[in-house]
């Protein structure tokens, strides 16, 4: 054998073995973490729902509690008017006011929504003082200030504040769920259900799989355990007193303007104050599931941008802001069990960069192993030597992978049926690739934030899409 070929053979086999060992250990550790969570969910999944069906609410009580809906907007002229019209129609007869946050330099959005605002008193247009984009938190703070002005001028007080995005499809019974839930809890979160986009069945479709599992298991279990519930930023309601508490703690501005994921931080802070938050997954009076539906990115570039913002905001900057949440703020006593369970959930939220590194290593190891196989066939290389321990480790990892794919398919089937559940299996690979690319971008984004001290709203672009497929309504 030529010296160059022998050297290449040694390099490929040695590199492949080391990478495979690192990836196998990482997959095992993360897999055990997931398996423990799954076993806990299996133990508690038969617990009853916490909030009663909204159909049982007396109509007179519903109308006595006014809600404010906050919709921040930056360049949303393509989707926002339709969203407002859907909300006004769905919530006909309800007592609410929609606050729309715009910027003075976003003339397209201002022109698109102004005719609707002019003819419907339930809409309130709020134009910020600064040109956009700032951050979503900054936009929400402007809406909070406008809400306070309205309360003082008109002599009333809102019962709660609902968060939605400019492209959301709201549910007719949604406000009833919030009114009922906010009587006993500081925050209510309903499921978020992405549409299936026929034009992006792979990129956009992987959001369906992830949200189905996250809101079918992860968030639901946290709620049942009484742990902090992360807000999704849409389909979420906060009691008026809760937002006031956050405003008092932050000098009058309840939403952190320097955060990329202010919605997630809200849910964590509510738990740190010892306040109760609940995830509610129930059916409405019409027999359909009460959820917030919306579109998600359909290209690799837009999906990576969005997930990079989530990772940078939750796993990196959120770590700086929240720490590990100890016994409680303002003297809120929390059992030691809840403290450690909360920290476990924070670890799960923040492990995305590490998981991406493990996935990248695994895929590179597979490529190097394939090169080694090609060398055996074409150049007569010797088969690589692998220890019994490594083979056992890889067998365990394979079993964990089968279990994880089974869980993903199970939750996707609940929301979207068997066909989408089968597609969820190969879509897991797509999700992994996007996660790797997003983690890389997130590290760069976080580095720029630290150097500049500035945070800019790197929002998702929304466009009307007629190719939506309505999700199923299988029982939770």
Instruction: Quote the distance between the C-alpha of residue 294 and its chain's center.
Output: 12
What CATH superfamily classification does 54-303 receive?
Answer: Spore Coat Polysaccharide Biosynthesis Protein SpsA; Chain A (3.90.550.10)
pLDDT band at 52 (very low <50, low <70, confident <90, very high): very low
Average pLDDT for 388-412? 95
pLDDT band at 2 (very low <50, low <70, confident <90, very high): low
User: Which positions ≥6 away from 150 have C-beta within 8 Å?
Assistant: 97, 124
Average pLDDT for 342-347? 95
Instruction: Report yes or no: 444 and 428 within 8 Å, Cβ to Cβ.
Output: no
Average pLDDT for 56-78? 76
With a pLDDT cut of 90, the percent of the chain lying above it is 71
Residue 328: what pLDDT? 62
* Nearest Cα to Cα of residue 304 among 454, 464, 445: 445
How many Å apart are CA 72 and CA 163, to the nearest integer? 9
How many Å apart are CA 69 and CA 466, to the nearest integer? 25
In 45-135, alpha helices (H): 59-63, 80-90, 107-119
| Paired sense of beta strands 67-72 and 160-163, if any | parallel
* pLDDT tens column, 292-301: 999 999 999 9
Across the chain, mean pLDDT equals 89
How many Å apart are CA 146 and CA 149, to the nearest integer? 5
Residue 386: what pLDDT? 75
User: Which positions ≥6 away from 213 have C-beta within 8 Å?
Assistant: 407, 408, 411, 412
Output b/e per residue, 409-447; b: 16+ Cβ within 10 A. Answer: bebbbbbbeeebbebbeebbebbbbbbbbbbbbbbebbe
Instruction: Report yes or no: 173 and 180 within 8 Å, Cβ to Cβ.
Output: no
* pLDDT tens column, 415-473: 999 999 999 999 999 999 999 999 999 999 999 999 888 887 777 776 676 555 555 54
* pLDDT tens column, 78-122: 999 999 999 999 999 899 999 999 999 999 999 999 999 999 999
303 versus 273: which is more confidently predicted? Answer: 303
244 versus 333: which is more confidently predicted? Answer: 244
Residue 434: what pLDDT? 98
| Per-residue pLDDT at 136 exceeds 60 | yes
DSSP class of residue 460? P
> 22 to each of 25, 32, 131, 337, 386, how far by Cα in Å?
5, 16, 48, 32, 14
Residue 54: what pLDDT? 43
Residue 408, SS3 per DSSP? helix
* pLDDT tens column, 180-220: 999 999 999 999 999 988 888 999 999 999 999 999 999 99
Q: Which of 11-15, 336-340, 422-426 has the lowest mean pLDDT?
A: 11-15
pLDDT band at 67 (very low <50, low <70, confident <90, very high): very high
Residue 3: what pLDDT? 61
Determine the Cα angle at 109 with ends 107 and 114, to 5°: 95
């Amino acid at each position: 054998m030529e010296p160059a070929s022998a050297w290449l053979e040694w390099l490929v086999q040695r590199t492949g073995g080391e990478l495979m060992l690192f990836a196998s250990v990482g997959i095992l550790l993360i897999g055990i973490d997931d398996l423990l969570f799954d076993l806990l969910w299996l133990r508690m999944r038969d617990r009853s729902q916490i909030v009663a069906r909204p159909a049982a609410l007396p109509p007179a009580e519903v109308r006595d509690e006014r809600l404010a809906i906050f919709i921040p907007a930056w360049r949303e002229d393509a989707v926002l008017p339709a969203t407002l019209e859907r909300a006004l129609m769905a919530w006909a007869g309800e007592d609410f006011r929609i606050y729309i946050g715009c910027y003075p330099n976003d003339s397209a959005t201002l022109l698109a929504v102004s005719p609707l605002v002019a003819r419907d008193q339930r809409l309130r247009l709020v134009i910020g003082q600064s040109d956009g984009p700032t951050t979503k938190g900054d936009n929400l703070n402007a809406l909070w200030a406008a809400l306070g002005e309205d309360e003082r001028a008109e002599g009333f007080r809102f019962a709660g504040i609902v968060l939605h995005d400019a492209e959301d499809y709201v549910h007719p019974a949604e406000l009833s769920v919030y009114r009922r839930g906010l009587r006993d809890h500081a925050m209510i979160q309903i499921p978020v259900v992405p549409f299936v986009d026929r034009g992006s069945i792979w990129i956009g479709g992987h959001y369906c799989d992830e949200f189905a599992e996250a809101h079918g298991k992860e968030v639901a279990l946290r709620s049942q355990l009484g742990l902090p519930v992360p807000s999704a930023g849409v389909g979420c309601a906060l009691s008026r007193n809760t937002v006031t508490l956050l405003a008092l703690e932050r000098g009058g501005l309840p939403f952190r303007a320097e955060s990329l994921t202010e919605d997630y931080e809200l849910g964590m802070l509510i738990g740190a104050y010892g306040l109760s938050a609940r995830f509610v997954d129930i059916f409405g009076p019409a027999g359909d599931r009460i959820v917030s539906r919306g579109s998600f990115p359909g290209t690799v570039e837009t999906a990576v941008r969005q997930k990079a913002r989530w990772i940078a905001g939750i796993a990196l900057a959120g770590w700086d802001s929240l720490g590990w949440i100890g016994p409680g703020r303002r003297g809120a006593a929390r059992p030691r069990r809840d403290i450690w369970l909360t920290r476990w959930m924070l670890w799960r939220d923040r492990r995305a960069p590490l998981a991406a590194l493990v996935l990248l290593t695994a895929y590179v190891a597979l490529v190097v192993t394939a090169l080694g196989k090609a060398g055996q066939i074409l150049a007569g290389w010797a088969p690589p030597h692998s220890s019994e321990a490594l083979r056992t480790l890889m067998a365990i990892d394979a079993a964990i992978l089968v279990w994880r794919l089974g869980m993903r398919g199970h939750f996707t089937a609940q929301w979207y049926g068997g066909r989408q559940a089968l597609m969820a299996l190969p879509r897991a690979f797509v999700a992994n690739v996007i996660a790797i690319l997003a983690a890389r971008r997130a590290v760069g984004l976080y580095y720029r934030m630290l150097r500049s001290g500035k945070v800019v709203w790197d929002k998702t672009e929304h466009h009307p899409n007629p190719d939506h497929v309505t999700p199923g309504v299988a029982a939770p």
